[in-house]
């Protein structure tokens, strides 16, 4: 597995947070060993050395929490976001080591134990997130050739459904489904009509084309074939071209081979005159399938943050309470 942070040249690596984290870890361990060997009652969090490790670890934890603030200001002069991400990973691991040294590698009891478990889970989720961010973009490139902006997926799905309706209505005429046409027309990109007369003219042309398509079939096939296509489309294909398809339709078109097999079957039972429409529908369903894959991978790519961030905030609050209680009593 290739980790992007390790693909730097030697001069770049010498300036990286990985090097500083490694140096910090070695220095902390060098300081910890004689302290642990000479402490009368063993290493404790309340000793001078233990408090020093706690202070250093807490400072790194506070720095870790600043990443979210840094992301809100991408044009900030305080270093690149990518540099902050690197520091977040490696210095976060160093912070976990320092807190372990503070506790003398003991889990403790009560609030101390809770903090150790939280920190362990936060660190593990961060490592999982790093691995996902390394693997998923490459996997996305392999599986999704029709990738789009994640926020635009609902609109792209709607446009695919409208396009599929239009293609089928060339054979079946009016499908009996009504859906708002997109206000903007797509022809090699998004086209805006600033002239009201031009907008009205274009809308009239679209309306006329829609009425002609819905009024009578444009591609002549036998009545049985027309009814068969309409039934397959309304019962199986169109329900897949929605924002949240049902389980049956996700399974029916769950893989590229399944999409290809389904439309190969339709081509065997429907006349040759309908094959161009079937080819377009197959392309639309395959694009919808890939968008579903993109959504799933996007969820994996970012879903771990729903655990990582809230737990980090909870840990910071509890760590402050732990510090105040420990210093007072």
Chain-centroid distance of CA 244 in Å reads 17
Q: How confident is the model at residue 198, as a pLDDT?
A: 57
pLDDT digits over 213-271, tens only?
666 788 888 999 999 999 999 999 999 999 999 999 999 999 999 999 999 999 999 99
Q: Where are the domains of the chain?
A: 4-145+304-328, 150-300
Residue 6 has pLDDT above 90, yes or no: no
Q: Which of 295, 227, 290, 296 is nearest to 253 (CA)?
A: 290
d(CA 252, CA 41): 66
d(CA 190, CA 174): 27
Rounded to 5°, angle at Cα 234 from 231 and 238: 140
Which ranges constitute the DSSP H helices of the chain? 10-14, 17-38, 48-71, 81-102, 111-143, 153-172, 196-215, 223-232, 247-252, 256-269, 275-303, 305-328
- Average of pLDDT values for 284-295? 95
Residue 85 has pLDDT above 60, yes or no: yes
Residue 188 has pLDDT above 60, yes or no: no
């Amino acid at each position: 597995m290739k980790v992007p942070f390790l693909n730097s040249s030697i001069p770049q690596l010498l300036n990286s947070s990985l090097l500083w984290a490694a140096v910090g870890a070695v220095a902390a361990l060098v300081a910890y060993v004689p302290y642990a060997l000479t402490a009368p009652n063993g290493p404790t969090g309340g000793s001078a050395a233990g408090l020093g490790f706690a202070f250093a670890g807490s400072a790194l934890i506070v720095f870790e929490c600043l990443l979210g603030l840094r992301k809100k200001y991408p044009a900030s002069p305080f270093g690149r976001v990518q540099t902050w991400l690197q520091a977040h990973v490696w210095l976060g691991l160093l912070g976990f080591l320092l807190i372990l040294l503070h506790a003398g590698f003991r889990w403790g009891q009560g609030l101390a134990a809770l903090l150790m478990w939280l920190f362990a889970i936060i660190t593990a989720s961060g490592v999982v997130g790093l691995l996902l961010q390394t693997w998923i973009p490459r996997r996305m490139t392999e599986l999704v050739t029709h990738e789009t902006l994640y926020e635009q997926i609902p609109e792209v799905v709607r446009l695919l459904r409208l396009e599929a309706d239009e293609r089928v209505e060339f054979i079946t005429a009016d499908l009996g489904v009504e859906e708002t046409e997109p206000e903007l027309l797509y022809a090699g990109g998004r086209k805006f009509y600033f002239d009201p007369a031009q907008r009205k003219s274009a809308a009239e042309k679209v309306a006329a084309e829609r009425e002609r398509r819905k009024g009578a079939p444009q591609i002549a096939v036998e009545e049985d074939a027309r009814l068969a296509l309409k039934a397959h489309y309304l019962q199986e294909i169109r329900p897949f071209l929605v924002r949240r398809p049902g389980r049956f339709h996700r399974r029916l078109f769950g893989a590229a081979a399944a999409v290809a097999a389904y439309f190969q079957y339709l081509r065997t039972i429907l006349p040759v005159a309908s094959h161009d429409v079937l080819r377009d529908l197959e392309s639309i369903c395959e694009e919808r399938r890939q968008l579903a894959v993109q959504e799933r991978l996007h969820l994996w790519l970012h879903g771990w943050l729903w655990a990582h961030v809230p737990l980090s905030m909870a840990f910071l609050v509890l760590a402050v309470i732990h510090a105040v209680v420990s210093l007072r009593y």
